[in-house]
């Protein structure tokens, strides 16, 4: 990767993930009455997200990328409980819908913070199950940011690569 492209990719990675981190913390605080605390950051080595439920958001524009909000089963069920007042013990359609709706709000908040980067953000897609995989764009170097919260452990993953020409969603 030429030096200029690497510099753009590294700069965009920070500019891209920070709005999602900020929006996630804000939405968890507002909707769930809990504030996630960052516990770690590392380069992602596998295609499997760390937890059983993933909300996958695709972005295009000056970069093409994927953002994943990954929740443990317990965290997803507690999100559902705090949002609608009912208990769940498995990741069923209702739990996926609640987490999907919350992720859509996070995505909308992040999109407002990403306008200067000319990125279009898609609607979250929900994937559940053990050992599922999420694909990131070729040449992307995905990172994972881990959090602990009152609802349980969550992670945000982001991986993207600079594009030659912006792509419309």
Match domain 3-162 to its CATH number in 3.40.1550.10, 3.30.460.10, 3.40.50.1820, 3.40.50.300. 3.40.1550.10
Whether residue 113 is predicted with pLDDT greater than 70 in this model: the reply is yes
Whether residue 131 is predicted with pLDDT greater than 50 in this model: the reply is yes
User: What ranges do the domains of the chain cover?
Assistant: 3-162
Q: What are phi and psi of 91, to 5 degrees?
A: -85, 90
Whether residue 7 is predicted with pLDDT greater than 60 in this model: the reply is no
Q: Report the candidate in 110, 121, 102, 122 with the shortest Cα–Cα distance to residue 29.
A: 102
Whether residue 134 is predicted with pLDDT greater than 50 in this model: the reply is yes
Note if the pTM is more than 0.85.
yes
Tens digits of residue pLDDT in 60-104? 888 888 999 999 999 999 999 999 999 999 999 999 999 999 999
């Amino acid at each position: 990767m030429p030096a200029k492209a690497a510099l753009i990719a590294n700069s965009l990675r920070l500019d891209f993930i920070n709005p999602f981190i900020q929006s996630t913390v804000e939405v968890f605080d507002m909707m769930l009455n809990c504030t996630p605390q960052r516990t770690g950051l590392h380069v992602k080595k596998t295609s499997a997200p760390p937890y059983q439920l993933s909300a996958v958001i695709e972005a295009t524009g000056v970069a093409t990328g994927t953002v994943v909000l990954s929740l443990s089963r317990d965290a997803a069920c507690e999100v559902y409980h705090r949002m609608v007042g009912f208990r769940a013990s498995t990741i069923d359609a209702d739990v996926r819908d609640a987490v999907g709706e919350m992720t859509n709000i996070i995505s909308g908040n992040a999109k407002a913070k990403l306008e200067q980067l000319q990125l279009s953000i898609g609607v979250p897609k929900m994937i559940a199950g053990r050992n599922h995989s999420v694909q990131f764009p070729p040449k992307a170097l995905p990172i994972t940011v881990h959090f602990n919260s009152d609802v349980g452990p969550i992670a945000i993953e982001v991986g993207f690569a600079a594009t030659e020409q912006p792509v419309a969603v």
